[in-house]
Structure 1
Amino acid sequence: MVGNGSRRILLIDGGNGRSEETVSLADSSTSDVGKADSPVSPEVVRQAVDRIVASADFSASERARNFLKYVVEETLEGRSDRIKAFTVAVEVFGRDDTFDAQNDPVVRIEAGRLRRALEHYYLLEGKDDCVVIEIPKGGYVPVFGVNRTEGAVDADADGSAVSDAPVAAAPDRTRRWRSHLVPGAIVAVVVAGVAAYATGMMSIGGGAGDSLPKGPTLLVLPFSDLGDGPVSALYSAALTDEVVSELARFKEITVYGVQTSRSVKVDADVTALKRDRDVAYVLEGSVRTDSERIRVSSRLLNSASGAVLWSRRFAYPLTASDLFGIQVETAEEVATAIAQPYGIVFRAEAARERDAPPDDLEAYLCTLRYYVYRAGPSAAKHAEVRDCLERAVAAFPSYATAWGLLGLVYVDEVRAGFNPSPDAVKRGLEAANTATRLDPDNVRALQALAMAYSYNRQPAEAFEVSQKAIALNPNDTELLGQLGLLTGLSGRMQEGRDLLERALAKNPGHSSFYRGALATIAYMQHDYEKALSEIDKTDLTGLPIYHGVAAIVYAQNGLDEKARAMAVRFQEMAPGFIPNLWDELTIRNIPQQSQLDIADGLSKAGVVVPSPPTGTSRIEAGPASTN
């Protein structure tokens, strides 16, 4: 029975039945059309699509509307196996048969926009729709659900939404769904959560099943509703889903899905969650509203000890136009603080890693060691991490994140000069391409590919891949920092500087890398005062290039003694850099004028600089560049 004012979500199983608890779509196929046990007719689904595309609350482009109509109709006609990125691009977006989904993400990007538009629609006008349509992540085949509630639009043209003609669900896709009894005002949030996290748990590396190592497990408890009225209830439920969604962008952690979150009581004993579900970290929070403001508090707990590792409070003016936006903003801030490299979870896990033996083969520890190495790089740490990651991918060949990090480590043989071996950039490209083949949406894989492209003297490709990665996770400061550095070095200095400032603001825990890169870009802009301010706050003494940057910055600021000391140390740590100066600067895609400026700084620091390549003329330094 469904209580008064409550709503029940039922998911259709391609003609194989329905359940309030668990429905498997593993056996669904278009051959089920014609069976008599599906509760929704194709005509009802078509009417639902018509309502959606005509709604002012469906905030989608015309192309997205056509996208929705196309995939629904193909599924209803039993052709869901044809719904691929290529066919969508050709038949909906008007691309020709040369379209390459691997290099052109237009379909994937438009699908993401369509999912968000559907979520927005079901939060507003569509909250009482009988049929719920969603497009699960990882593909473009729609899934149809039935919403049973008092007041729902549940009749077709003949007066009934129940028909003997079944609706076909996605073929050959295994998904598990769990329905819940929830307050009527927040049902659409559950639908959105189902769409994003139907598998119940996101595993590290983008692979499926237990064959891949998992990072630390994190469970988000439902945010408590401490306010009066429907706004607080709606916001608390929506925020829970949004936080899970944002956390799952970071593939180095394992995030339990929305269904699991909603199955746990708000006041659950966190130590019991550790014991019963092997949950390492628990995020809990509350929402309180009054007539003027909405207040959110959140904190992260270590489930083993119950210790509070992090807490934060947010407050916003309560206006209808801001409600959806502040939900997203809050979720982004929470996820960024907790889940990104050098965030709260990583610091706690790094403490655990320090106690582990150096030859520990646990694959996840290798990813932690990579970030420890990145925070304080040295040749010894580089060799240790490279060996660990090579063993990790040998043991787990489908571990995309480890392949991506290994690609970055290989490129560091050239970028940082650590433990160089033949064909380092080529091996970096191969590792990065392996990672992206395993998981095309793994941001660490894309980060590695961008870096490898850059050092393979393909800056345009590096920039394109970095942009794609940031579109997948705009809160990942590792990506922001890398794109800022690559962009700034290639001559788009102010753009790169702005990205680095954003990364620094979001992730002060990794400030040395960002500040060192900022010092470099500011130097290239002839903003020597800013470069000095940033290099003085940088602690990367194990990285040879740090001493080189410090030398030229100090030299241009008249700090001759410091400049010469840094230049000596730089040449001791990287004896091959100065003799091959112009090649070293060119492989970093640095423009000619900036190369000459760098050489000028080295000369002032007492370094004997080789002559520029034939045909290179000395260009006098002008005013600070702003481009």
Structure 2
Amino acid sequence: MKTGTGKTLRHEDVYEELERILTSSAFEASERKRQFLRFVVEETLSGRADRIKAYTIATSVFGRGDDFDPMQDSIVRIEAAGLRRAIERFYLTQGVAGGVCISIPKGGYTPQFGTSSDGAQAAETAKKVKAATSLHQLGPRIMVENFDVGSDLDNLAGIGKTMTCQVISALTRFTGIFVYGFDTTERRDATGRLDRRPDSLAIDYHLLGTVTISRKSLHVDILMKRAKDGCFVWADSVTRTLNDDCDPSRIVSLCREIAGHVARIVALRDGVIDSQARECAGDAPRHFAGYQKLLDFQDYWRTLEPSRFEPLLRDLELTVAADPQFADAFACLSMLYSNAARYGYDVSELCDDPLEHAMELAKSAIHLAPQSSRAHHARAIAEWFLGRVDASVATMQIARSLNPNDPELLAESGFRSAMRMDWKTAVPLIEEAYLRNPLQTGQYRMGLFFYHFAEGRYDTAFQITEDIQAPGVAVVHLAAAAALARAGRKGEARARLGEVERLSPSFQQKLRVDLAFRQIHPDLIDAIAAAIEDTNPSWSPSARGADLRRVQGGGATR
């Protein structure tokens, strides 16, 4: 066979390259994807490339029955997209100059064979590199205008530019939006005149404001308007006291604090941008489409409603298949697969091991957008449930350093600390997170449940389970039952256990193993399990001691 440059390849060369890929630790793919690759390569080399269709792959590789319908079941498209990504990552790190290359072009499942010097492949690589430079142009676009200055202090005339810089810095940490700054707004034309009309950038919103500073206070007025019609969609004022302290470092610190406040309101989940994106759904700019996928994820993440899980999983799988540069979609998909393991959802049709797949997706997100806090958040969750607790904590620290203004990262860190009974760290983080954004998902309040339950404040602990507002999650009802039991409300506790059994019929047999899988401190497990056993002796757990240590030390799949 000949490559794009006319070089002849022997079948033996391709088989040798196939084995190099499949046996390499750098090829990050599940066993199912490996079987997929071997099947299509061997079929092609055997002269049966015309048989490589979705139906044949599904029935020969994935064990689907003769009634498989590719229009109803997207498993082959989803696995093919993941396989293409795994092959691309492999050649980025393990490619050999002039060596054989195997690829599966989009639009089909028949592999192509070439060499690393083929012009077509080089062009495709250049295209991907170019695409990787514009990863975040999938969401709303904000122009931060230079902040005006009102000051009676001559030595602080530059405070407007300082505030502008801090706001830009704070906003760019939210990688779902695209931010333009004063270097764009003050572009000059060929005659040297100021050109403030960057129409070609398709700006969606303008953020502007005024900084007024005196010896007594620093005051900032902020406005945000929609570019298409000039409608103001948000306004706010922030004042900080100086107390005659005009030390420049103090003022810069206050500017940074105010900028963080602005960024949280504008860009956090369920903030101004999100509400705008929801309002203009169906009538949004083309580049909003990807961002609205993230809103769908947030709707699920807020309630963890089981009925939303599978449709969203399928939708995001198709999203990343269609747009392999969408880093945040990979991160959200990773978090869904972690939830599949956490709540026992059957995703065996899509992957062999949901947690390993979650790790693979999180790594893809980080590879696409190394500065994305959401990508590192997704990896931290997967590591946690894999039993890699120290690694998870370290990854969460990276996520928080990338975006210290995101309340969800504070809440997640506090939640994980609470499960290890580190109350000194956990409680302030969770409480601060909900002060910053009371509307975020209630699941992190479970950390406060652990705290109050461990301290014997059972009525407070029960009320927190109510505040979580996740009626479809069995473990929340379990927590409520434990608190009610210890508060002497046994009848209500038994009713909650009935809800657990309805939502998760097998939970009764795996109580301690499930709690250990979540990396909850053994003392908390003992306390919760004892309360449940006192309420209903038939819930006596079957796993203790060594089994729990095994689960907490190395992770578990469900």
Contact 2:215 2:246 (8 Å CA) reproduced:
no
Per the alignment, residue 533 of structure 2 pairs with 603
Partner of 1:569: 499
Which stretch shifts more, 273-282 or 512-521?
Answer: 273-282
Aligned to 2:341: 414
Distance 1:224 1:212, change over 3 A: closer
1:284-323 aligned within 5 A: 284-305=208-229, 306-317=231-242, 319-321=245-247, 322-323=250-251
**What amino acid sits opposite 2:321 in the alignment?**
A
The equivalent of 1:581 in structure 2 is: 511
SS in 2 for 1:496: helix
User: 8 Å contact 1:528–1:556 — kept in the other structure?
Assistant: yes
What residue identity is the alignment partner of 1:309? W
Tell me the equivalent position of 2:166: 242
Whether the 8 Å CA contact 1:449–1:462 is kept in 2: the answer is yes
2:205 paired residue number: 281
On the 8 A contact 1:552/1:604 being kept in 2, the answer is: no
Structure 1: which amino acid aligns with 2:238? Answer: R
For 1:254, the aligned partner's letter is: F
Give yes or no for the alignment of 1:528 onto 2:452.
Answer: no
Residue ranges of structure 2 left out of the alignment (5+ in a row): 1-129, 189-195, 548-558
1:334 equivalent in structure 2? 262
- Are the structure 2 counterparts of residues 382 and 210 from structure 1 closer, same or farther at C-alpha, using a change threshold of 3 Å? same
Give CA deviations for 1:135-180 in whole Å, capped at 9, x if unaligned. xxxxxxxxxxxxxxxxxxxxxxxxxxxxxxxxxxxxxxxxxxxxxx
Partner of 1:400: 327
CA distance in 2, matches of 1:351, 1:560: 46
Structure 2 CA distance for partners of 1:290 and 1:494, relative to 1, 3 Å:
closer
1:372 aligned to 2:299? Answer: yes
Would the alpha carbon gap of residues 614 and 535 (structure 1) be closer, same or farther in structure 2, given more than 3 Å must change? closer
Asked whether the equivalents of residues 270 and 439 of structure 2 are also in contact (C-alpha less than 8 Å), the reply is yes
Distance 1:568 1:296 in 2: 54
Say if 1:226 and 1:232, in contact at 8 Å, map to a contact too: no
Shift of 1:275: 6.9
**Structure 1 pair 517/352, CA: closer, same or farther in 2 (3 Å)?**
farther
Distance 1:555 1:420, change over 3 A: farther
Do 1:302 and 1:309's aligned partners in 2 also have CA atoms closer than 8 Å?
A: no
State the distance in 1 between where 2:394 and 2:417 align.
11
Post-superposition shift, 1:213?
A: 5.0
Alignment partners' CA distance in 1, 2:461 and 2:321: 42
Q: In structure 1, the residue corresponding to 2:467 is in which secondary structure?
A: coil
Helix, strand or coil for the counterpart of 2:477?
A: helix
SS of the aligned residue for 1:368 comes to helix
Alpha-carbon deviation of 1:371? Answer: 0.8
Q: Cα distance 1:436–1:348, how it changes in 2: closer, same or farther (>3 A)?
A: same
1:224–1:312 distance in 2 versus 1, CA, 3 Å: same
- Opposite residue 154 of structure 2, the aligned amino acid is P
Q: What SS does the aligned partner of 1:446 have?
A: helix
Work out the CA distance in 2 between the residues paired with 1:348 and 1:553: 40
Q: Is 1:390 equivalent to 2:317 in the alignment?
A: yes
Cα deviation, residue 447, structure 1? 0.6
Provide the secondary structure at the position in 1 that maps to 2:142. Answer: strand
For the pair 1:590 / 2:514, whether they are aligned, the reply is no
Amino acid at match of 2:499: R
- Give the aligned CA root-mean-square deviation in angstroms: 3.0
Corresponding residue number in structure 2 for 1:482: 412
For the 8 Å contact 2:139–2:289, the answer to whether it is kept is: no
Q: Counterparts of 1:350 and 1:599 in 2: how far apart (Å)?
A: 42
Deviation at residue 532 of structure 1 after TM alignment: 3.0
Equivalent residue runs for 1:494-509 within 5 Å: 494-509=424-439
Whichever residue aligns with residue 324 of structure 1, its letter is: V
Letter in 2 for 1:286: T
Q: Pick from 146, 165, 172 the counterpart of residue 222 of structure 1.
A: 146
State whether residues 274 and 303 of structure 1, in contact with CA within 8 Å, keep that contact through their aligned partners in structure 2.
Answer: no
Shift in Å at residue 263 of structure 1? 4.7
Matches of 2:197 and 2:457, distance apart in 1: 53
Task: Report the TM-score when normalising by structure 1.
Answer: 0.59
Which residue of structure 2 aligns with residue 324 of structure 1? 252
Letter in 1 for 2:204: A
**8 A contact 2:510–2:543 mirrored in 1:** no
Q: Deviations over 1:422-464 (max 9, x none)?
A: 4111111111112122222211111111100110011111111
> CA 1:345/1:361 → structure 2, altered by over 3 Å: closer, same or farther?
closer
Change beyond 3 A, Cα 1:614–1:599: closer
The Cα shift of 1:572 comes to 0.9
- SS of 1:252's equivalent in the other structure is coil
Query: Kindly, what percent of the aligned residue pairs are identical?
Result: 24
Aligned partners of 1:425, 1:471: CA distance in 2, in Å?
A: 25
| Residues 1:252 and 2:176 aligned together | yes
Structure 2 counterpart of 1:576, one-letter code: S
Change (3 A) 1:352 1:599: farther
CA distance in 1, matches of 2:167, 2:185: 11
Alpha-carbon contact 2:219-2:239 (below 8 Å) kept: yes
- Are residue 446 (structure 1) and residue 376 (structure 2) matched? yes
The alignment's TM-score, normalised by the length of structure 2, stands at 0.66
Query: How many residues were matched structurally?
Result: 404
CA positional deviation for 1:612: 4.9
1:593–1:211 CA distance, 2 compared to 1 (3 A)? closer
Match for residue 457 of structure 1? Answer: 387
More helix by share: 2
Cα contact 1:528–1:557 (8 A) shared by 2 = yes
Partner of 2:469: 539
What 5-or-longer segments of structure 1 have no aligned partner? 1-205, 265-271, 618-627
Q: Is 1:383–1:419's contact at 8 Å kept on the other side of the alignment?
A: no
Q: Tell me which residue corresponds to 1:424.
A: 354
Partner Cα distance (1:356, 1:490) in 2: 46
Secondary structure of the structure 1 residue equivalent to 2:223 = strand
Structure-1 residue corresponding to 2:106: none
Distance 1:328 1:376, change over 3 A: same
Distance 1:260 1:542 in 2: 48
What is the CA–CA distance in structure 1 between the aligned matches of 2:544 and 2:136, rounded to whole Å?
53
User: In the alignment, is the contact (CA less than 8 A) between 2:510 and 2:541 conserved in 1?
Assistant: no
Residue 41 of structure 1 aligns with which residue? none
Native 8 Å contact 1:246 1:335 kept in 2: yes
